[in-house]
Amino acid sequence: MEYVVVRYPTRRLVTIDDEQNGNTNEVLRVDAGTHVFALGGPANYRPAQRTVAVADTSPLEPLEVRFSPKKGA
């Protein structure tokens, strides 16, 4: 199992490979491999999605995937 934290200033839904998978700023478990991360709700963040190869993580050192609010959002 691999571990990922999707960072965003507020609590938002997280989608992994187009499926709902928990919330931002929580440690999520995923299987190893390349995944597409995005946020649910309004598209007022950037980038629109991140494609990341997830491997060699641990619960103490999860991979961080960062999103930020769009300017003016």
Partner 1 sequence: MRALAVAALALLALLAACASVEPGNPPLARYSPDAGYRFDRLQAPAGADRLFVIVTFSGGGTRAAALAFGVLEALRDTTLELDGRKTRLLDEVDVISSISGGSFPAAYYALRGEATFAEFPGKFLYRPIQSELVSLALSPASWPRLAAAAYGRSDLAASFYDREVFGGATYADVIARDRRPFVILNATDMSTGRPFPFIQDRFDLICSDLAGVKLARAAAASSAFPGGLTALTFWNYAGGCGYRQPAWVALAMQDPPAQLNARRTAEAEARLSLAAPGPARPYLHLTDGGVSDNLGLRGPLEAIVSVDSPWSVLRRINQGRVERLVVIAVNAATRPETKRDASADVPGLVDTVTAAATVPLDNYSFDTVELLDRIAAEYRSDARAVAACNRLSAARGAQCALNLPAPNAVELYPVQVAFEFLPDRAERDWALDVPTSLELPRAAVDRLRLLGRKLLAQDPQFRRLLGELHGCLPAAGSGC
Please pick, from the candidates 9, 40, 47, 59, the single residue that binds partner 1 as defined by CB under 8 A.
59
Per rule CB under 8 A, is residue 8 in the interface with partner 1? no
Q: How far apart are CA 48 and CA 46, in angstroms?
A: 5
**Other Cβ atoms within 10 Å of 70 Cβ, number:** 13
Per rule CB under 8 A, is residue 3 in the interface with partner 1? yes
Q: How far apart are CA 38 and CA 46, in angstroms?
A: 9
Please pick, from the candidates 9, 11, 27, 46, the single residue that binds partner 1 as defined by CB under 8 A.
27
**Interacting residue ranges for partner 1, rule: CB under 8 A:** 1, 3, 5, 14, 16-22, 25-36, 51, 53, 55, 58-60
